[in-house]
């Protein structure tokens, strides 16, 4: 395949089902829909961890969370192991970043970039310390503000995203022409539709509150009662303050933020066309994880349900089949080999053990023999959780707890957990064996807790962290975090 530039756009917390090209009947995402129409849309794409910092560390390094040991939102990527950016820069390619990264701190060369523009990293270099405490989960009271604040308006995040879009257009028009010697890589990190669920009026008003869909399995008697989910629900108490009007406003605001994000993506795609770069630039759109969006009474991310662990993944440009729908499972860690192949760089022998496969190859028909993995060891997780796909089955393994199993062909919305079905014990055993070929789940859980304990002690101990509290979300550059 001919080398070309690669523009990788990563949003934050985009539930793939809330996209026109993924079948949503109400949402307006014209630019993402057009991108999918002229490229390949992956139906079974997953994050390697359904929370920001670990997902982005996997994306950077092409490795699973238990390998890089960035377990949560306080233990972030700091330049090792090498990222796709390091590999590209070593071969003379220009690698730029604009927007949210969520690494340990801004240090472009260390992080694998030639330049970082408007970077958002973990707060004060240490991030969300409260999420380290997992022996007895603390109640994160700030989560209960999600519903009461939802609605129309502006936030620090919407203002930040507008600036990211503006800086990206500026880079494409002014900086890209200076890097013609070799293909370049541009990473753009938006924060929408991550909460706060406050959408600009122009986009919020696209979705009348009385017309937005009600979340599935939202009634208390419909919600799953698995001990992992119950513990998470008490810790991440998003739903406690919700009443029916708040649910409607929250859904309308989330939809509005998705359309706002789509509009910003559209500005970037227009700039590619206007500058003549589109003919020699591949584009990937994805998100670091999804959002439960009220389904099962859950909001935010952190679960292995499709709403949270599933992500959109769209690729277009030279050598990418147009109008194709690809059902082969893919993951964020596939970004690493995709960057290397797209820019025509030489693979480093040190990366032979990476689990990822280039999205270019998969879009063109390659079906890798592998088991993809998502794992979670962060806020609200009383034990470790792991997810794999095995054909039509999704298997979720909880250390010390009953597993979950879903038949995604018969039950794509995961309404029926088959983890206790005697007839499916052979399937469950097969799935667990596949998981254990990738890692020892108990050992990874123990390593995560050990690393988190070290970090807790480094910051004064559990009681000190509990007294300090935490912030609800990482603020954009120039804005102070509000602790509670």
Q: How far is CA 429 from the centre of its chain?
A: 29
User: How many domains is the chain built from?
Assistant: 1
Q: Is position 219 within any domain?
A: yes
Q: Is position 474 within any domain?
A: no
Q: Is position 52 within any domain?
A: yes
pLDDT at 214: 98
List C-alpha distances in Å: 77 to 107, 110, 304, 405.
11, 10, 22, 32
Q: Is position 304 within any domain?
A: yes
pLDDT at 483: 85
Q: Is position 479 within any domain?
A: no
What is the C-alpha to C-alpha distance for residues 393 and 411, in angstroms, rounded to an integer?
A: 10
Q: Contact, 204 vs 152, CB < 8 A?
A: yes
pLDDT at 318: 98
List C-alpha distances in Å: 147 to 85, 103, 132.
39, 29, 25
Q: How far is CA 396 from the centre of its chain?
A: 18
Task: Estimate the crossing angle of helix 244-274 against helix 30-37, to 10 degrees.
Answer: 50
Q: Contact, 123 vs 215, CB < 8 A?
A: no
Q: Is position 482 within any domain?
A: no
Q: What is the pLDDT of residues 329-367, one digit of tens each?
A: 999 999 999 999 999 999 999 999 999 999 999 999 999
First to last CA, the chain: 52
What is the C-alpha to C-alpha distance for residues 103 and 94, in angstroms, rounded to an integer?
A: 20
Q: Is position 481 within any domain?
A: no
Output the domain CATH number for residue 28: 3.40.720.10
Helix (H, G, I), strand (E, B) or coil at 371: coil
pLDDT at 345: 98
What is the C-alpha to C-alpha distance for residues 425 and 288, in angstroms, rounded to an integer?
A: 32
Q: Which residues of the chain have pLDDT under 70?
A: none
pLDDT at 482: 84
pLDDT at 451: 98
The pTM assigned to this predicted structure is: 0.98
Region for residue 394 given its phi and psi (left: phi exceeds 0; alpha: psi -120 to 50; beta: otherwise): beta
Q: Is position 480 within any domain?
A: no
pLDDT at 1: 86
pLDDT at 481: 86
What is the C-alpha to C-alpha distance for residues 208 and 201, in angstroms, rounded to an integer?
A: 12
Q: Which domain holds residue 350?
A: 5-468
Q: What is the pLDDT of residues 363-372, one digit of tens each?
A: 999 999 999 9
Dihedral angle of Cα 168, 172, 175, 181, to the nearest 10 degrees:
130
């Amino acid at each position: 395949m001919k080398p070309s530039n690669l523009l990788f756009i990563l949003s934050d917390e985009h539930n793939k089902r809330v996209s026109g090209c993924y079948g949503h009947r109400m949402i307006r995402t014209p630019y993402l829909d057009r991108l999918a129409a002229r490229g390949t849309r992956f139906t079974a794409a997953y994050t390697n961890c359904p929370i920001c910092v670990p997902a982005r560390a996997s994306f950077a390094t092409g490795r699973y969370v238990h390998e890089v040991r960035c377990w949560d939102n306080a233990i972030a990527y700091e330049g090792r192991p090498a990222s796709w950016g390091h590999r590209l820069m070593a071969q003379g390619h220009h690698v730029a970043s604009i927007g949210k990264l969520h690494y340990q701190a801004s240090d472009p060369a260390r992080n694998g970039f030639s330049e970082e523009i408007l970077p958002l990293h973990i707060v004060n270099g240490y991030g969300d310390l409260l999420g380290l405490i997992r022996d007895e989960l603390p109640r994160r009271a700030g989560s209960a503000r999600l519903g009461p604040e939802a609605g129309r308006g502006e936030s620090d995040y919407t203002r930040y995203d507008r600036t990211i879009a503006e800086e990206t257009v500026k880079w494409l028009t002014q900086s890209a022409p200076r890097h013609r010697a070799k293909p370049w890589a541009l990473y753009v990190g938006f924060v929408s539709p991550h909460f706060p669920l406050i959408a600009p009026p122009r986009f919020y008003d696209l979705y009348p509150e009385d017309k937005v869909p009600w979340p599935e399995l939202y009634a208390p008697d419909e919600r799953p009662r698995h001990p992992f989910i119950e513990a998470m629900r008490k810790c991440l108490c998003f739903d406690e303050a919700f009443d029916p009007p708040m649910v409607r406003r929250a859904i309308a605001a989330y939809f509005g933020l998705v359309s706002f994000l789509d509009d910003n993506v559209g500005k970037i795609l227009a700039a590619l066309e206007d500058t003549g770069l589109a003919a020699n630039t591949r584009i990937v759109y994805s998100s670091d994880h999804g959002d439960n969006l009220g389904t099962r009474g859950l909001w935010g991310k952190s679960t292995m349900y499709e709403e949270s662990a599933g992500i959109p993944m769209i690729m277009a440009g030279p050598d990418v089949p147009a109008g194709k729908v690809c059902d082969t499972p893919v993951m964020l860690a596939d970004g690493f080999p995709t960057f290397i192949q797209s820019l025509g760089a030489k693979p480093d022998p040190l990366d032979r053990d990476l689990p990822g496969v280039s999205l270019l190859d998969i879009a063109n028909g390659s079906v890798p023999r592998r088991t993809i993995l998502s794992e979670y060891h962060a806020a609200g997780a009383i034990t470790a959780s792991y997810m794999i796909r095995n054909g039509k089955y999704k298997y979720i393994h909880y250390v010390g707890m009953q597993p979950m199993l879903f038949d995604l062909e018969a039950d794509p919305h995961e309404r029926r957990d088959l983890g206790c079905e005697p007839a499916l014990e052979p399937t469950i055993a097969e799935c667990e064996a596949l998981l254990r070929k990738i890692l020892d789940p108990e050992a990874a859980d123990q390593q995560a807790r050990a690393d988190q304990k070290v970090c807790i002690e480094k910051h004064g101990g559990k009681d000190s962290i509990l007294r300090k509290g935490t912030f609800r979300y990482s603020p954009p550059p120039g804005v102070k975090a509000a602790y509670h």
